[in-house]
């Protein structure tokens, strides 16, 4: 059975160009710090990748610190700044758990940060903090008004960090336009390999290294570079968001949401009132637990996630949905569908068939509603 992969926010299939770059680098031996020819060649690979990564977000190459992924980039930003931290309540765990004493900024029901509260906090703060607000949320796809946040924060002398891990490769990301001081990226969310990422740091932002040792990454992140990973990241970054027709992906996502609503008008689409990434839909199926849905989808060859898959495969209540005021009853029925460059219309249709089947069977098994009219999955979709 072909797998219908609708979990691009968990990780993306590797782009062929990135795979080739990884394999080429793996086959070569050379430490980028060595002065001999093999070392120089490895150094060229790292610097070419750094340039592509910098270009992806409109930053100068020397602002890019290569890391082991988005988690390390977020930790480095939040801990390395040595300031009190204010972070949106819907941030990824790699921000929220990076440091103790962090203050969480509430979001509205649409999932957008409350900028009035931010401003009030900043005005009352003893010391200008680091403000961390992600560009796009991994569970809902909700896009934050990062520029607005940055302008407010800078008026009060704060430093602004943006976790752009989910956004990069799915929409245009430009550090200058966002007006942020620090920006996190991760290769495996944009068609590169897992285990490599970057923190982009504006020139004058002081940052204390977390990993110390050799002087790699200009002493901001010690450790021999992950050459193959970095090469793959560079190749994926060079493709960026440009090769995928995101309007087509948006239409598929719309098709999924319309199809679900035709079958069940009360199905919840979480975050739909806010600007969202074109690929993400967080769908609550009334009455059916998300873990059950994920298993049923998996048995039908469809990969989707319940809540955030970044944790451990375990299904816990989502802090993102809770912060948006989504009640636990509904949150526990939410499944995240995330499309990407490999997604096709067949995937949308297959998902809708299985969604409909799960929903109708669950409805039929509930005594009070057992008499409701039954329709086949295909008929439901056509109607
Ligand atoms: N930030 C966001 C928004 C994410 O979705 C993830 C992973 O899913 C991360 C950070 C962590 O990135 P990585 O998996 O590269 O450590």
Show the 3-state SS of 115-126. HHHHHHHHHHCC
For atom 14 of ligand 1, the residue with the nearest CA is 70
Q: Which of 328, 347, 337, 338 is nearest to 289 (CA)?
A: 328
Catalytic residue status for 29? no
Site to probe by mutation for ligand 1, drawn from 9, 165, 166, 277 as the one with most ligand atoms within 8 Å of Cβ, is: 165
State pLDDT tens for residues 219-266: 999 999 999 999 999 999 999 998 999 999 999 999 999 999 999 999
Q: Which of 337, 340, 342 is nearest to 352 (CA)?
A: 337
Closest atom of ligand 1 to 195 CA is 15
Taking residue 101's Cβ as centre, other Cβ atoms within 10 Å add up to: 6
State pLDDT tens for residues 358-375: 999 999 998 765 444 444
Ligand 1 is surrounded, with C-beta below 6 A, by: 69-71, 74, 92, 94, 134, 138, 163, 165-166, 186, 188, 197, 310
Report pLDDT for 308: 46
State pLDDT tens for residues 29-83: 999 999 999 999 999 999 999 999 999 999 999 999 999 999 999 999 999 999 9
Q: Is the pLDDT of residue 380 over 90?
A: no
In order of 227, 260, 270, 305, 335, the CA distances from 11 in angstroms are 20, 24, 21, 11, 16
| DSSP-assigned letter for residue 81 | T
H or E segment and range at residue 80: helix 70-80
Site to probe by mutation for ligand 1, drawn from 166, 185, 186 as the one with most ligand atoms within 8 Å of Cβ, is: 186
Ligand 1 centroid vs 374 CA: distance in angstroms? 41
User: Cβ(235)–Cβ(18) under 8 Å?
Assistant: yes
Q: Is the pLDDT of residue 379 over 60?
A: no
Which sign does the torsion angle of CA 193, 195, 196, 197 carry? positive
Report pLDDT for 366: 84
Q: Is the pLDDT of residue 146 over 60?
A: yes
DSSP per-residue string spanning 285-332: -TT--HHHHHHHHHHTTEE-BSS-TTS-S-----HHHHHTT--HHHHT
Q: Map tokens 């200058």 to a residue.
A: 176
Taking residue 131's Cβ as centre, other Cβ atoms within 10 Å add up to: 30
Token pair of 199, please? 């923190």
State pLDDT tens for residues 316-367: 789 999 999 999 999 999 999 999 999 999 999 999 999 999 999 999 998 7
């Amino acid at each position: 059975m072909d797998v219908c992969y609708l979990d691009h926010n968990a990780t993306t299939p590797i782009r062929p160009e990135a795979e080739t770059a990884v394999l080429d680098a793996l086959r070569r031996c050379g430490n980028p710090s060595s002065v001999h020819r093999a070392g120089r060649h490895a150094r060229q690979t790292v610097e070419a990748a750094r340039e592509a990564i910098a270009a992806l977000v409109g930053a100068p190459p020397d602002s890019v610190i290569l890391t082991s992924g988005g988690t390390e980039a977020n930790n480095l930003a939040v801990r390395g700044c040595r300031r009190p931290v204010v972070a949106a309540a819907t941030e990824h765990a790699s921000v929220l758990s990076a440091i103790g004493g962090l203050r969480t900024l509430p979001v509205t029901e649409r999932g957008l940060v409350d900028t009035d509260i931010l401003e009030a906090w900043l005005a009352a703060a003893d010391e200008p903090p680091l403000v961390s607000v992600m560009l796009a949320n991994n569970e809902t796809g909700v896009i934050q008004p990062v520029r607005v946040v940055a302008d407010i924060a800078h008026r009060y002398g704060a430093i602004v960090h943006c976790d752009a891990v989910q956004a990069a490769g799915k929409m245009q990301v430009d550090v200058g336009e966002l007006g942020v001081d620090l920006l996190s990226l991760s290769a495996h969310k944009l068609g590169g390999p897992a285990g490599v990422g970057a923190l982009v740091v504006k020139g004058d932002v002081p940052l204390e290294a977390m990993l110390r040792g050799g002087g790699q990454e200009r002493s901001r992140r010690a450790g021999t570079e992950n050459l193959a990973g970095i090469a793959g990241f560079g190749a994926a970054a060079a493709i960026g968001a440009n090769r995928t027709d995101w309007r087509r992906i948006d239409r598929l996502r719309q098709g999924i949401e319309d199809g679900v609503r035709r079958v069940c008008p009360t199905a919840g689409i979480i975050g739909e009132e806010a600007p969202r990434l074109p690929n993400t839909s967080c769908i609550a199926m009334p009455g059916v637990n998300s873990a059950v849905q994920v298993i049923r989808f998996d048995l039908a060859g469809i990969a989707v996630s319940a809540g955030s898959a970044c944790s451990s495969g375990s299904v816990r209540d989502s802090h993102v949905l809770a912060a948006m005021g989504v009640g636990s009853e509904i949150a526990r029925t939410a499944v995240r569908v995330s499309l990407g460059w490999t997604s096709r219309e067949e995937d949308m249709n297959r998902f809708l068939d299985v969604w409909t089947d799960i929903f109708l069977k669950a409805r039929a098994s509930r005594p009070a509603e057992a008499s409701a009219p039954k329709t086949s999955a295909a008929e439901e979709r056509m109607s």
